[in-house]
Amino acid sequence: MRRMDDSTVAPPIAARKPAVASYHGRDISDDYAWLRDPGYPEVKDKAILAHLEAENAWFERRMKSHRPLVDTLFREMRARIKEADTSVPYKDGEWLYWIEFEEGAEYKKWWRRPVGAKDDGTEDQLILDEPALAEGKDYFRLGTLSVSQGGRLLAYAVDDNGSERFTVRIKDLESGEMLADEIPGTLSSLVWVAGDSGLVYSLANEQWRTDNARLHWLGTPLDDDVELYHEDDEGFRVGSSLSANEQWLIVTTSDHETSEVRLIPAADPLAEPLLVRAREKGLEYDVDERDGTLYVCANDTHENFRLATAPLDAPAEWTTLIEGSDELYLTGFELFRDFYVVDGRLAGLDRIEVRYYDDPARIEPVAFPEASYSAGLGTNPEWATDKLRLSYESMVSPSTVYDYHVAEQRLETRKVQEIPSGYDASQYRTERLEIAARDGTPIPVSIVYRADREQPGPLHLYGYGAYGIAIPPGFSTARLSLVDRGFAYAIAHIRGGDDLGRAWYKAGKLERRVNTFTDFVDVANGLVARGYTKAGRISISGGSAGGGLMGAVVNSDPELWGAVVAHVPFVDVLNTMLDASLPLTPGEWPEWGNPIEDREAFELIASYSPYENVRAQDYPPMLVTAGLNDPRVTYWEPAKWVARLREMKTGDTELLLKTNMGAGHGGKSGRFRSLEETAEEFAFILWQMGMAE
């Protein structure tokens, strides 16, 4: 018996249209494959659209009585945001740049003024007005923005439907006029070269892959643009940047485990590229240059990377500057004229070190005030500088902007995130725990809760665990709406991310992918054992690959979860990895395996892919989201998954699917409209946990 407000109304049931494909002697049945429009990325099939709209109508029907709670949560979340807000200006050449949000605005404005000008607004120059660009659009996203080296021209890219295909436009900041140049279909950074007469970009091809770096000369037809580099391997993506000293155009091509870099003089972008080192499977490296010496961060001698140097005339001959180690995971570096900065993680916590070219033994780590935190370099565009812009936060400390004075080794607080409705950090506690996985591996867990919380109580557990992406223990004002209602909020730093280094990432990919799922379950059970919560009193959430994590753990351990939110979930892993025509698939094989060519990869993915492993059992209450224009996790993955769950699940728990019909992977755009979706998510959780107001 289904639980409903109106017994005459039932959730939409997708038609079953049997389809069978055979791989490695095994038949794969997919009754809901028809939900993929053959004309994708355009979706025009009336039956598909009708089904998605019916699911949306069912979502609205079931959430209707909880709209007051959604509204309450939204008001709380919005009240914690300073609506009229300004960033700390940063210096770049002759200008100071900053952004501003006006009261009630969804999008920001970009400003600058001359260095040395009075801070009275008389010389402030509005260089980009996002609210004006977004006016009348259901969706708006600024992809990238790049001011020319001379400061006169501004190139920016806009996506107005969530498809992540951006259109580039160029503005003359002196006259305020738009140039006639317009480049549609980009998916890349924008790099000024040749005295600001040329712009380097990458086009997305029909499969949404950037296999090129192209040069556009201002004022010339797009047909005359020059392809500086073309990548023939369909699994690789191409990106471009400038060296820190702005002397070199850096063109990088890479997949998830291999990279290759070429250097081109920025003043002469048509010159023959300099190949730093030919690609070798499993070799990843990044490059920058100073005074004829290349600096290379590479994983050739240690999986946690080393920093090496090489002469320009022998770019593949690398000499170690900083040895790779099991303790310090090097995540990057930045060169400046008088010193360089190494980014890394030590025991899972961010570490920033200032080092010196003339004294390799001189190491100055930046000291931060808390035992658990997230920190990193901010915007530091100037080659010659004596201070660094840094960002900092923790699970109890709001976002803070520092200037780090290098010579004095001193942090200067420039801005602390304001919370207009009030926030007292002393009312909250944060911990960093270690919980043993079933194979004995200690899994780090970051957790925050109110000091007066009664235990055991409700707990929300978040996880991702893929692509070597770490989830930092950062601050969230929205999260407080759960925490202030008695929830503990925990982040499981599971294998598959690189929270503890590259080995941590490798331990959750390919043939060891299942570790990610079992780690998450083991963390939940460990939190129960330690008295933070009880089985069935745990809400969980994750998005994209983290949504796939949600799909795996509801199949394996449904009784643990009181509510589940899966955002744009990657749940149709097997079918997606079997389809080389999809935008991301060839580049994803190093992460998941290639089930087309590898029978063992096929069998492994089939064993955990959430869609294939839905079965007749009681599932926890679930809210699933999708984006019709999403090129990363295509809309039919969550739609098919929900359809199969409706067919197979027993019991009467809620199962809701909400598809954004005019958005993509990130959901709605705008700082408040996106907050509405968070309010819906939290309302669903509170409703299903019996805590709705």
Active-site choice (259, 544, 609, 669): 544
| pLDDT value at residue 209 | 87
Q: What's the Rg (C-alpha) of the chain?
A: 26
621-633 pLDDT, tens digit per residue, is 999 999 998 888 9
| pLDDT value at residue 3 | 39
Give the tokens for residue 199: 């712009």
State the CB neighbour count (10 A cutoff) for residue 626. 31
Active-site choice (211, 522, 665, 669): 665
How far is the C-alpha of 679 from the C-alpha of 72, rounded, in Å? 8
Nearest to 672 by CA among 4, 103, 288, 69: 103
Distance of CA 175 to the CA centre of its chain: 36
Show the low-confidence residues of the chain (pLDDT under 50). Answer: 1-8
How far is the C-alpha of 467 from the C-alpha of 447, rounded, in Å? 23
How far is the C-alpha of 373 from the C-alpha of 446, rounded, in Å? 10
Catalytic site includes residue 665: yes
> Which amino acid appears at position 214 of this protein?
R
In sequence order, the β-bridge partners of residue 287 are 296
Name 511's Cβ contacts closer than 8 Å, sequence gap at least 6.
593, 600, 604
State the CB neighbour count (10 A cutoff) for residue 196. 16
Catalytic site includes residue 630: yes
| pLDDT value at residue 1 | 29
> Which amino acid appears at position 492 of this protein?
A
Specify the pTM.
0.93
Helix (H) or strand (E) holding 411: strand 410-416
Among positive and negative, which fits the CA dihedral 668, 672, 676, 678?
positive
Distance of CA 412 to the CA centre of its chain: 29
Name 290's Cβ contacts closer than 8 Å, sequence gap at least 6.
244, 245, 335, 337, 340, 357
Active-site choice (146, 394, 630, 669): 630
Give the tokens for residue 401: 């902007």
Name 254's Cβ contacts closer than 8 Å, sequence gap at least 6.
236, 237, 239, 260, 284
